Amino acid sequence: MNAETVERAPRRYGMVIDLDRCSGCGACMVACSAENNVPPAHPQATERTGITLLRVVQVKDAASRGVAFIPMMCQQCGDDTPCMTVCPQQAVEVDKLTGVVEQMPQRCLGCRYCMTACPFQARFFNWWDPEWPAGMETTLNPGAAPRMRGVVEKCDFCQSRMHAAEDKAAMEGSREFEYTPACVEACPTRAIVFGDLNDPESDVSRQARNSFRFLERLGTGPKVYYRSRRPWLRTLASRVGAPPKKENGNG
Amino acid sequence: MTGTRRNLLAFGGGAAAAVAFTPIPWKLLDDVSIWTQNWSWIPPVPRGEITVKHSACTMCGAGCGVQAHCVGGQPFGLAPVAGHPLSHGGLCALAYGAHQMPYHARRLRKGLSRGAEVAPDVALAHAVEILRDARDARRVVAVLDERPGRMVSAMYARLLGGLPGSVYLTPPAPERATAGILSGWAGRPAGFDFEKARTILSIGTPLLDGFGAAGALLALWANREDRVRFLHAEPRQSHTAALADRWIAIRPGSEAAFALGLAGVLVRDGLAKAPAPYGAFSLEEAARRTGLRPDTILAVAHELAGRGPALVIGGGDPVSGPLPRDAEQSIAALNVLLGSEAVCPRHPLPFERPATPLLDVPDGTISVLIADAASNGCALPEAVLRRKLANNAQIIRLSAFQTTAARRADVVVPVAAPSEALEEVTAPACNARAAWGLAPPLVERPEGVYTVPEVVARLAEGCQMPAPGSIDEASEAIQALGRGSTFEFGDASIWTDSEDSGQLEFAALPEIRLEEPSLADGFPLTLMPAGWRGAAAAIPLPPLTTKLYQESELRPGAREARVHPATARDLGLARQSRATAETPYGSAAVSLRFDESVPPGVVEVAAHEDDAARVFALCGDTCWRSAPARLRRS
């Protein structure tokens, strides 16, 4: 580093989602789709074939009759990122400067290995060409190119917003910038906190200390953390996808 | 190396094999991938200067503030406005797709005359002709306004002033129900100050899922800690039931019995702050009707009395309609008995006109109905509306969309879609403080399409009546009040009235008698329409909300019926099988889903957009909250 160049400290963007504040209103899902130019559902699309880069899932606990809404998006795995490992096209990369798992649809061949590898089912395949009703294409976000049929996409923490914030800061002669993903901005209960996990003073770092992650046992180092005072949700987070326990050897 | 044929072939073969180890094939693959993603049918994104405009969402009557991020003047995304006095920095799912409504596939840019497309001015001329004929024949003309209280509502009222026997109507809306009854008993407008309440009980009303402005109540809920407790009574475990601190699972149709049971406890235990004739309604009777244990009702009543100020909110559901009158009266009476400080007097807006509730109008009396274009996000079944119409009645609709209701109207005058014209926003009717603001347009409206004030003015002019005024009068009237405060955000603003310092005094509470619920032979189940605010409203849902009901299971989609697994087991029905729901009024094919949050014995059928009419038809033409039903395998 010399006097003319300033290295930017690498960030590690992450989220903390307070499940006790999520009301399941779905505002984040719609705001996310508008931000990322995800088209309205194809007439044949279902919950299995549709594209929801962020999906709010309703879960129930029979014992306590409790209900919770869990916003699920790409968990931005930081260690041995499964989707990146299996991609034959190098279409998935972890950005060293932000820690964000980036998907490059231009490189994607549509093999869907990454979808199989993703333990969170947070990747979506474009089964159809993106279509908007006539005239609605004028409402597309200039920061996000629509993806074509045959490629996989996923949440990237609204990289288009990050680039816009970065550009704006650069125009002002600064390298410091902050941005807010669309879902964080949309949440009416402020259930989602976003920021740099490398900054120990940030809200996201502070809240992440007393939180849990889904499928932590897989060791993929997700950067999306969850909080709840309800013990059954912590249990659920650790047990999702786990093989059923044998009960007292009775079979 | 000599230039032999053998060497040439060896060089060619070696070069071909080596290409695989160079970046060339990968580069080609990349280029092909990029090239195939630039087909002409993949829309290019717009380019231009990025700016921000400010306005308000008009998808329902909540009046939430929005900031629109625009490229080249065209909005591409909406965001909430921090500190907005109505929306408190929050927006609902509908609002985030509101900027796309002008380009909705059902957008109406031409008029409709008996279902056929006509030029907008021809449709308007037809509407003028119908109105003129009705005036000359002294037939009853009615205006149906889903968002009363605006200046344009006053313009409608002035138009009707020139038509003898005319009536200005408003359909049921959850926000107006309890506050409306309390206003009637107090003889002056009443509202709720949710911030003052420490206990809030909602009965059959999704308070945390589309009641008033989404941001306001959800912010209160999310930041409640130990300050406020939310209690919710409803048969099904709806979103509000799931979020409430306590869900009280009452039987379908027992809302009145539950409220009277609570009132009875308050009176008998000396906790009531007003005299009331409900002491005779026993706890055991309430328990029998609601299916609750007596001690549950007792505990809720004592919590309301002991943890005040308490509010009890009714009004019903935006999709499955209002609660019966006895239930609404019982709920309103609870507020009087609790003497809550959170029930406050409210200054009306200076141009606010009283409206007649649609359900109070005698059947078969309206000859010409003018339906305003504004939506409050609630369902109003066509059959319920038609019941109020006389034989050969005519319907004039102002609409920006070709909905089922529009197709059935005699004339449809095309008007501006949300965010295409200057519109008024007001506070929800339940708010303790009135508010009024203007929502500037975000996009230009198409040529030929009218604004609502233009249509009202042209109707008056066509009937040689005095001009009904303009919405500019509203700002002058508000300025003349000389009170309240204005919140400015960008190029928009909203005025909020100051608190009314008076006290509410209520008339003697009425006696409420409950009838035994009637059972229909051969229909052992209860069918309940279900949905969410906007799903069965006068305007269609924004296209991106398909993410919620089609591409995920967050909200129910069309033709979906949910039953408790035990109910399905008793009937021998399998998960995701096809079935036919039958009621005394008709039958409909449904796709079954099992859901343990639906009480046993109940079939929850999604009322969704065009399919909603089919579902409401199963409930008859007087009430669309529930109906006796049975299910059989298709």
Buried b (16+ CB within 10 A) or exposed e, A29-56: bbbbbbbbbbbbbbeebeeeebbbbbbb
Say which of A65, A133, A190 has its CB closest to residue B104: A133
**Best to test chain A binding among B27, B38, B53, B96 (most A CBs inside 10 Å):** B96
CB atoms within 10 A of CB B205: 30
Cis peptide before A200 (omega within 30 of 0): no
Buried b (16+ CB within 10 A) or exposed e, B71-85: beebbbbbbbbeebb
Q: Does the beta-carbon distance from A27 to B91 stay under 8 Å?
A: yes
pLDDT band at A244 (very low <50, low <70, confident <90, very high): low
The sign of the CA dihedral B2, B3, B5, B9 is positive
Among A228-237, B196-205, B514-523, name the one with the lowest average pLDDT: B514-523
Q: Which residues contact B16 (CB under 8 A, 6 or more apart)?
A: none
Per-residue pLDDT, B574: 85
Q: What is the mean pLDDT of residues B169-189?
A: 96
* CATH code at position A166: 3.30.70.20
Q: Which residues contact B127 (CB under 8 A, 6 or more apart)?
A: B370, B396, B411, B413, B455, B459
Q: Does the beta-carbon distance from B76 to A142 stay under 8 Å?
A: yes
Strands A55-61 and A66-72, bridge-based pairing: antiparallel
Taking only residues 174 to 213 of chain B, the set having a beta carbon closer than 8 angstroms to any beta carbon of chain A reads 208-209
Q: Does the beta-carbon distance from B239 to A24 stay under 8 Å?
A: yes
**Best to test chain A binding among B547, B559, B562 (most A CBs inside 10 Å):** B547
The span from the CA of B77 to the CA of B71, in Å, is: 10
CA-nearest residue to A48 within chain B is: B551
Number of folded domains that form chain A: 1
**A55 at interface of B, judged by CB pairs closer than 8 A:** yes
Q: Does the beta-carbon distance from A51 to B93 stay under 8 Å?
A: no
Distance from CA of A238 to the nearest CA of B (A): 22
Distance from CA of B584 to the nearest CA of A (A): 33
Q: Which residues contact A225 (CB under 8 A, 6 or more apart)?
A: A14, A15, A16, A17, A207, A208, A211, A212, A213
CA-nearest residue to B45 within chain A is: A142
Asked if the structure places residue A41 within a domain, the reply is yes
**B100 at interface of A, judged by CB pairs closer than 8 A:** yes
Taking only residues 219 to 248 of chain A, the set having a beta carbon closer than 8 angstroms to any beta carbon of chain B reads none
Say which of A30, A35, A140 has its CB closest to residue B45: A140
Q: Chain B contacts of A138, Cβ < 8 Å?
A: 46, 74, 103
Q: Chain A contacts of B95, Cβ < 8 Å?
A: 27
Q: How far is CA B538 from the centre of its chain?
A: 9
Phi, psi (rounded to 5 degrees) for B613: -60, -40
Asked if the structure places residue A2 within a domain, the reply is no
Q: Which two tokens stand for residue B540?
A: 């269609």
Q: Does the beta-carbon distance from B548 to A188 stay under 8 Å?
A: no
CA-nearest residue to A66 within chain B is: B242
Per-residue pLDDT, B41: 77
pLDDT band at A248 (very low <50, low <70, confident <90, very high): very low
Asked if the structure places residue A251 within a domain, the reply is no
Q: Does the beta-carbon distance from B46 to A142 stay under 8 Å?
A: yes
- What digits encode the pLDDT tens for the residues A150-208? 999 999 999 999 999 999 999 999 888 999 999 999 999 999 999 999 999 999 999 99
To 10 degrees, what angle do helices B325-338 and B294-306 make?
Answer: 50
Q: Does the beta-carbon distance from B551 to A52 stay under 8 Å?
A: yes
Q: Which two tokens stand for residue A158?
A: 């609204």
Asked if residue B57 has pLDDT above 50, the reply is: yes
- What digits encode the pLDDT tens for the residues A6-23? 566 789 999 999 999 999
Asked if residue A247 has pLDDT above 50, the reply is: no
Asked if the structure places residue A184 within a domain, the reply is yes
**Best to test chain B binding among A25, A104, A148 (most B CBs inside 10 Å):** A25
pLDDT band at B179 (very low <50, low <70, confident <90, very high): very high
Q: Please report the ipTM that was assigned to this predicted complex.
A: 0.93
**B594 at interface of A, judged by CB pairs closer than 8 A:** no
C-beta separation of B436 from B351 below 8 A:
no
- The mean predicted confidence, pLDDT, of chain A is 91
The span from the CA of B181 to the CA of A208, in Å, is: 48
C-beta separation of B483 from B441 below 8 A:
no
Asked if the structure places residue A147 within a domain, the reply is yes
Q: Chain A contacts of B105, Cβ < 8 Å?
A: 133
**A67 at interface of B, judged by CB pairs closer than 8 A:** yes
Taking only residues 156 to 185 of chain A, the set having a beta carbon closer than 8 angstroms to any beta carbon of chain B reads 164, 182, 185
Asked if the structure places residue A4 within a domain, the reply is no
CA-nearest residue to B546 within chain A is: A41
Distance from CA of B558 to the nearest CA of A (A): 12
Q: Does the beta-carbon distance from A30 to B77 stay under 8 Å?
A: no
- What digits encode the pLDDT tens for the residues A61-103? 988 889 999 999 999 999 899 999 999 989 999 999 999 999 9
Asked if residue B424 has pLDDT above 70, the reply is: yes
Structural domain that includes position A174: 9-239
- What digits encode the pLDDT tens for the residues B243-258? 999 999 999 999 999 9
pTM more than 0.90: yes
C-beta separation of A111 from A88 below 8 A:
yes
Taking only residues 129 to 168 of chain B, the set having a beta carbon closer than 8 angstroms to any beta carbon of chain A reads none
With vertex at residue B101, the alpha carbon angle to CA B55 and CA B316, rounded to the nearest 5 degrees, is: 85
End-to-end CA distance of chain A: 64
Q: Does the beta-carbon distance from B93 to A135 stay under 8 Å?
A: no
C-beta separation of B102 from B230 below 8 A:
no
Per-residue pLDDT, A26: 97
Q: Chain A contacts of B222, Cβ < 8 Å?
A: 21, 23, 188-191
**Best to test chain B binding among A138, A192, A229 (most B CBs inside 10 Å):** A138
Taking only residues 68 to 97 of chain B, the set having a beta carbon closer than 8 angstroms to any beta carbon of chain A reads 71, 74-80, 89-97
- What digits encode the pLDDT tens for the residues A112-121? 999 999 999 9
Per-residue pLDDT, A243: 55
**A86 at interface of B, judged by CB pairs closer than 8 A:** no
C-beta separation of B422 from B433 below 8 A:
no
Say which of A45, A56, A129 has its CB closest to residue B41: A129
End-to-end CA distance of chain B: 82
Q: What is the mean pLDDT of residues B510-530?
A: 87
Asked if the structure places residue A249 within a domain, the reply is no
Per-residue pLDDT, B37: 64
Count Cβ–Cβ pairs < 8 Å, chain A vs chain B: 205
C-beta separation of B533 from A23 below 8 A:
no
Asked if the structure places residue A213 within a domain, the reply is yes
Q: Which residues contact B4 (CB under 8 A, 6 or more apart)?
A: none
